[in-house]
A = this chain, B = another copy of it.
Amino acid sequence: MLDERKSAILRAIVNQYISTAEPVGSTHVAKYDPGVEVSSATIRSEMAQLEREGYLIQPHTSAGRIPSDKGYRYFVDNLSTPGRLGPTQRQEVKEFFSTSHFAIETMLHDTSRLLAALTSQVGVVIGAVPGATTVVGAQLVKLSPNSGVLVFILSSGDVERIEIEIPDGTDEILIQEASGYIQRCLVGTKWGSACGKLDEVTDPQLDGIIRNCQSALRAAQDRNKINPSSNHVFVDGASHITDAFGAVDTVRNILSILEQQYLVVSLLKDILDRGSSVSIGSEHGEARLADCSIVVAPYSKDGEPVGTIGILGPTRMKYSEALATVAIVGNQLTDRLSETN
């Protein structure tokens, strides 16, 4: 724990550094920060101590100080006043969620865009993973002489679509029979355990089709487990990182991370699992993101958490604003998803 004065100095340095991106010197703190009422010399000695304790870093001997990850962490946990959104932004969020969005996918995609626009940083939305949802509709349709598509409608409103092979010479009637049978068997069951529910049928020809469906269904679900929700990650506003970082190498590193969506998923998930909502610099173990912080919030549907939203920006970010934004968008998203029930 830092004493009152050290806290005030650290707060002043973080605030100034966030807005100027320049190392902060003792004189600046003494002159321009109303919260610190001592001379620059005193501040200097306090700063030297803060540096020894790891809260500050001095880029070189005769430069000011910048906050370390630990410094930011202390700032976020103890010194930052909970932020509120400006009226314009409040309005923007409200308007966004009052506009009808049809497909969930589209809405989540647009939400990542909203986050990016609000914060001028990278917006990330991780989609709901089906699993505990139940099957509310099912249909098998023939597309060509030997292929078809099996469509499931889930209680979440999502649609799962699985391509299957159909034995040559299978006629339309049989397909319809199979479709009806699948519907009767699976509607009402949990999506996660659906593939076990297809019992054997007497007609050998019909049974062949059903077996095909069953194995395709199992394959699709396995694939989904191995590579969880690879098409459920939405990233927008990547160009904003060029505003925060002047070095192309840094930009490349961050872009390359954003391209590996499974990495993004696990990063955000880890933060939530740790019970936190902010991850600063090297706290997430990814070296390429050493200069970045991530702010996340979960969102729910019907009281059950189903996904995560977040923003990614430089460690030098306005945390209180970011936290407020992510929180409000998460809440609104939750409301929007749950309202129809």
Contacts and interface: CB of A to CB of B under 8 A. Distances in A.
B157 A149 contact: yes
Contacts of A155: 143
Contact of A251 (B103, B142, B163, B251): B251
B230 A242 contact: no
Contacts of A20: none
A220 interface: yes
Contacts of A127: none
A238 B261 CA distance: 13
Nearest 8 CB-CB pairs, A to B? A239-B255, A242-B252, A137-B141, A147-B340, A144-B341, A239-B256, A141-B153, A159-B161
Contacts of A255: 238-239, 242
A139 interface: yes
Contact of A142 (B136, B151, B161, B243): B136
A237 B340 CA distance: 38
Contact of A239 (B137, B143, B236, B252): B252
Interface in A1-46: none
16 contacts: A102-B163, A102-B219, A106-B231, A143-B341, A145-B341, A149-B159, A151-B153, A157-B161, A238-B255, A242-B249, A242-B251, A242-B252, A243-B252, A245-B248, A248-B248, A251-B251
Most buried by B among A159, A245, A246: A159
A194 to B, nearest CB: 15
Contact-residue bracket for chain A: 35 or more
Interface in A187-232: 216, 219-220, 223, 230-231
A335 to B, nearest CB: 15
A95 interface: no
A339 to B, nearest CB: 9
Contacts of A219: 102
